[in-house]
Structure 1
Amino acid sequence: MTAANRSCLELLARLGYAARGTVSLIIGLLALLAALGRGGGTTGSKGALLTLLSQPLGNLLLAAVALGLFGFSIWRALQSVLDADGLGTAPKAIVIRFGQAVSAAIYFSLGVFAVSLLAGWGYGSGNEEQSAQDWTAWLLAHSFGRWLVGAVGLAIAGAGLGMAYKAWTASFKQHLGCGGDTARWVVPLGRAGYAARALVFLIIGAFLVAAAYQSDPSEARGLGGALLALQEQPFGRALFGLVALGLAAFGAFEFVEARYRHIAAPEGAEIGKVTRAGLV
C-alpha cells in the first residue's frame, strides 16, 4: 500500500469516527431535549439520519456522514480481519474482533440507509422498533428461533458489559494519542459515553432475552425503545436525562477519537491476502 493510499484509509477511518459521533450526538441531544420537556424525542441511528436530512444543507451533511459510515465500516473490517489494532488471537481478542466484524456490517447497512435517504427511497424504513420486532419475529418462526434470539440478546448484553468495563477502566486511553490537559477532560467524556451506551445495550439485550423466553417479538426494542423503557422506571426522568447526556457525551468523544485515535493502516500485502481469500 502506498503512502497516499494509507493516508486515504486513515482519513476515511477518522471521518468514520466523526460520522458515528454525529449520529450519537443527535440521538443524545434529542433525548436530552425530551428529558427537559423542550421537544426532542427518543430515536435510534436511522431516526438520527432522518433528523440530519431535515436540517439546512441536510443533503450535503448526510452525504458526508454516509461517506463516514462506509469509511468506519471499512476500518472496522480491517480491525477485525487484519487485526489493525494488534489485539492478537487470544480468546478475549477473538471476541473483540468478532464484535468489530459485526460492527462493520451494522455501519455498512447504516451507510446504505443514508444513501437510500439521499435517493429518496428510505423514508418508510426508519422505524427501528418495527424493524427489531420484524427480524425477531422472523427468527422466532424458524427452528431453534427462540435460542437464536436469546443468543443475540445475550451477545448484545455482553457488548454492554464490555462497554461498562471500558467506562470503569478507561481502557480506551491506550488507543488515543492525547495527554496532559486534553486527557483530563477526554477521559471523563469517554467514561460517561461508554457508561450510557452500556446501560442502553443491556436494556436492549434484556428485552431480546424476554422476547425469546416469551416467544413474543413485540418485546424486542431498538435504541429508542430502550430509552423509553428508562422513562418508565422509578426516577425514570432523571435517569433518562443522565443517559441522554451520556449518549451526547459519547458523540463528542467520537470527535475526539476522529482527531486523536491511533490509526494503523495494514500493509497492502496483508489486504491483498484477505482480498484474494474473499474475506473483504
Structure 2
Amino acid sequence: MTNKFEFLARWGYAARGVVYITLGLIALIGSSAGEEASTHGALSNLLDQPFGRILLGTVAVGLVGHVLWRFAQALLNADAQENNIKGYLARAGNLTSGIVNGALALAAARLVVASGGGSESGGSLAAWLMQQPFGRILVGLLGLVIIAAGAVQAWRGISRKYRERLQLPADRSDFLGRVSVFGLAARGIVLSITGGFFVFAAFVVDSKQAGSIPEALDWVSNLPWGTYLYALAAAGLVAFGVYSFIEARYRRIDAPEQADIQRGLAKASSVMNKLP
C-alpha cells in the first residue's frame, strides 16, 4: 500500500462487492420470500445478519472510501485519463458513480444508526428532478447518461478493456477474467435498462415510470425466456460483486498524495469563489 488513500480505495471496492453479491443472491433466492432485490434491500439484509451493525458499518465506511476514490478519479484525474472527449467522459462517469455511491453510503449509515431509511427508488429521484427548472430535460439527460454508462461498462467487459488496470495472477487469469466479463456485461445491461426507464419517464412526463434495479429485473423477467434471463441477470450481479473483490485485490491504484489532494481542494475552492 502506498498510502492510506489506496487502502480506502481497495476497501471501497470490497464494500461494493459485498453489496452486489448480497443483491444478486436476494434476486436469485430471496425475492420469492419477499425480500427486496435492490441495493437498499441488500443493505437491510446485511443488517439482519449476526453482528449486522458491525458488518453494515464496515460496508458504509468502505463505501465512503469508494466515493473518495471516485472523486479522486474524476477531479484529480487519478487514472491519468487523456485530455480528450473519451477521457472527460470517463471522469464524468466516475463523478456520477461517486455521487450514487455516496447516497448508498448514506443509506447504509442511516440503517446502522436508526435501523431505518427510505427504500431505493428511481421514481423518487426522477420526481425530484422533475420539480426543478427544465426537469423533464434533466430526467431525460440522466437517463441517457445511465444508458451510456451501462453500455460502456458492458463493452469494457466484453472487449477485455478492464484488464488494462488489473494485474491478474497468471495461474488464475482465465477464471478471474471470465467472472469479470460476465459481471461487467450483466451489470452494464441492467444499468442501461434502468436508464431507459428514466428516458421513458421524461418522454411521458411521469416520474413514476422511472425505475431502478428491481424494475429492471422485473422487465427482464417479462421477456421471452424471462425466467432464465432473470436468473442470468441475477447471477451476473453476483459476478459483478466478485469482480469488485478482484478490483480490490488486483487493480492498479495510483492514489493521490496529500499534496495532490491539497492542490485539488485549492482549485475547487478557487472555482467556487468565482461563482456569483
Same topology, TM > 0.5: yes
Name 1:94's counterpart in structure 2: 88
Structure 1 alignment gaps of length 5 or more: none
* In structure 2, C-alpha distance between the alignment counterparts of 1:135 and 1:31, rounded to whole Å: 23
Question: Deviations along 1:114-133, whole A, 9 cap, x unmatched?
Answer: 1111111x6241x213xx21
Q: Does 1:113 align with 2:107?
A: yes
1:93-172 aligned at under 5 Å gives the runs: 93-120=87-114, 123-125=116-118, 127-129=119-121, 132-172=122-162
Q: For 1:258, what is the secondary structure of its paired residue?
A: helix
Deviation larger for 228-237 or 18-27: 228-237
1:60 aligns with 2:61: no
Coordinate RMSD, CA, aligned: 1.8
Task: Tell me the SS of whatever aligns to 2:190.
Answer: helix
Q: What amino acid maps onto 1:26 in structure 2?
A: T
Q: For the Cα contact (< 8 Å) 1:167–1:195, is it kept in 2? A: yes
Measured after TM superposition, the shift of residue 104 of structure 1 is 1.3
SS of 1:277's partner is helix
| Equivalent of residue 8 in structure 1, options 4, 21, 31 | 4
Distance in 1 separating the partners of 2:223 and 2:35 = 17
So what's the TM-score if we normalise by structure 1?
Answer: 0.91
Q: Which residue of 1 aligns with 2:64?
A: 70
CA contact 1:190–1:249 (8 Å) conserved in 2: yes
Q: Please state whether the residue corresponding to 1:278 is helix, strand or coil.
A: helix
Aligned to 2:42: 48
1:261-276 matches, within 5 Å, as: 261-276=251-266
Q: What letter matches 1:220 in structure 2? A: A
Deviation, 1:45, is 1.5
Mark the runs of 5 or more structure 2 residues left unpaired by the alignment: none
* Deviation of the 1:180 alpha carbon: 1.4
Task: Quote the offset at 1:88 in angstroms.
Answer: 2.1
**One-letter amino acid of the structure 2 residue matched with residue 27 of structure 1:** L
What is the distance in 2 between the residues matched to 1:135 and 1:256? 31
AA aligned opposite 1:44: S
The whole-number CA distance in structure 1 between the counterparts of 2:202 and 2:163 is: 37
Q: Which residue of 1 aligns with 2:233?
A: 243
Shift of 1:41: 4.5
**Per-residue deviation, 1:56:** 0.7
Q: Would the aligned equivalents of 1:25 and 1:250 in 2 still touch at CA under 8 Å?
A: yes
- Cα distance between partner residues in 1 of 2:73 and 2:125: 27
Q: State the shift of 1:277 in Å.
A: 2.5
Q: What is the count of residue pairs matched by the alignment?
A: 270
Q: What letter corresponds to residue 216 of structure 1 in structure 2?
A: D
> Could you say which residue in structure 1 is the equivalent of 2:29?
33
1:246-261 equivalences under 5 Å are 246-261=236-251
Contact 1:42 1:228 in 2 (8 A): no
Q: One-letter code of the match for 1:75?
A: W
CA distance in 2, matches of 1:17, 1:31: 21
- For 2:18, the aligned partner's letter is T
Q: Is the 8 A contact 2:5 2:256 kept in 1?
A: no
For residue 105 of structure 1, give the secondary structure of its aligned residue in structure 2.
helix
Q: What TM-score results when the alignment is normalised by the length of structure 2?
A: 0.92
After TM superposition, give the deviation of residue 58 of structure 1 in Å: 0.4
User: 1:9-52: per-residue Cα shift (whole Å, max 9, x none)?
Assistant: 111111100000000101111111158x6x47552222211110
Task: Tell me the distance in 2 between the aligned counterparts of 1:165 and 1:199.
Answer: 10
